[in-house]
Chain A
């Protein structure tokens, strides 16, 4: 009896404590949850300037001039670009964050596929990655500038973090619920595939980016092959080690 009572009282304390803790968590909002809406990632004035600046990027590129023109459009001054301590990188970051958050609205999966069977995770990932790449289309001829800025030593860590958040978002939207070691490998491989395809897309001259689409498919099937090879390899190793141990045990070795 005592253990049960203990668990019960523990559960009781958890239950009473939980509303408050969720409230504080909600205030901080440092986690991903579909149950709470996230606060907008940029302050109103900042997003007014940055969204105006993005529309100038196809003409003037990812430069401080785009920011200045955006500030003018939003009713601010050239000097107001001091609102962005990281300068042009803040503009790139705005593009990355808004396009990542837009994914969940632009891509809608039907609950049932055409033939009445559910869409596979692989298909969903492909659709999501393509949708995200398509979002780069208006600025793709200037995207190499952005990649060059993201590769500057100061901005490498925030850029990689944003890439990780993007691949996490894609797996989340694809409905992946893995809680094992593959959680990491999935995100790592998708990040690698996505960033490679993004670089490929900056040099793609084909119509409607069909080459990019092919490139993405090739990389995804590579990833799939690699994943299955890796899985088979680990199963084989597991089997071999266990049988070797059992053989040694049958010979009287104390293992």
Chain B
């Protein structure tokens, strides 16, 4: 379904997202062995796409067999789907992959300062209170931890934007009706994309939550149909002097 609507491009986006974050701690090049692997929290990642990709990247690219991913989703059916899919991967019975039912605005089961990388791919659009979720992300991240978000955004080129709008408002609900027999859900999908804040607005929201912004703060994918936003939680100066 997603392949049909995005013509398969969403796979490229997710691949790029993972490769760019480069998760995993390479035991061959890291000199200190105090910590092993990253602790990754994948929010709204019920089906596990991002989680499996992260673990694959850590294992095959960085030779890291310790990186852990916690998949959190508010929807138990999605989590069940993820668990089912995980059986086809080598991580199903290892402690590297866990599934948690959680609301991104209230992650009580995750302790403060415990996460290296917080990812949310095509999920934050559906959060009721995005600012609350961002503050919760700030709380659970370790100092220096990274918030990374892959989400639909605003197209920059006006000509391409016109074509894209036509595709999303005419074709996507129709595909939804024909293939999934559910026009309303896909109508909601395109409207929620339309309502999501622009690149600069969302960057400012990340900044307001207390994050440092790398460079301009986002990277456009396919001329801004989607964008990767990042934020880094500052390490306080006091901690630096302690080390």
Contacts and interface: CB of A to CB of B under 8 A. Distances in A.
Nearest to A90: B215
Interface stretch (A70-78, A147-155, A243-251): A70-78
Contact of A74 (B38, B216, B240): B240
Contact of B29 (A65, A76, A83, A84): A65
A234 interface: no
- Which of A69, A71, A77, A86 has the most chain B CB atoms inside 10 A of its CB? A77
Contacts of A82: 21, 146, 148, 214, 230, 232
- Give the contact-size bracket for chain B: 20 to 34
Contacts of B240: 48, 74-75
Nearest to B238: A75
Contacts of A75: 143-144, 235, 239-240, 242-243
Contacts of B23: 79
B68 interface: no
Contact of B38 (A48, A69, A71, A78): A78
A23 B142 CA distance: 40
8 contacts: A74-B235, A75-B242, A76-B143, A77-B143, A79-B23, A82-B146, A82-B148, A85-B230
Contacts of B38: 78-79
Nearest to A85: B215
B227 interface: no
B157 interface: no
Contacts of A108: none
B136 to A, nearest CB: 18
Contacts, number: 69
Contact of B144 (A60, A65, A80, A86): A80
B57 interface: no
Contacts of B93: none
B25 interface: yes
B215 A80 contact: no
Contacts of A69: 31
Interface string A106-137: 00000000000000000000000000000000
B212 interface: yes
B30 interface: yes
Contact of B25 (A43, A60, A78, A85): A78
Interface in A37-93: 43, 45, 48, 60, 64-65, 68-69, 71-72, 74-86
B42 interface: no
Nearest to B38: A79
A43 B216 CA distance: 13
A85 B116 contact: no
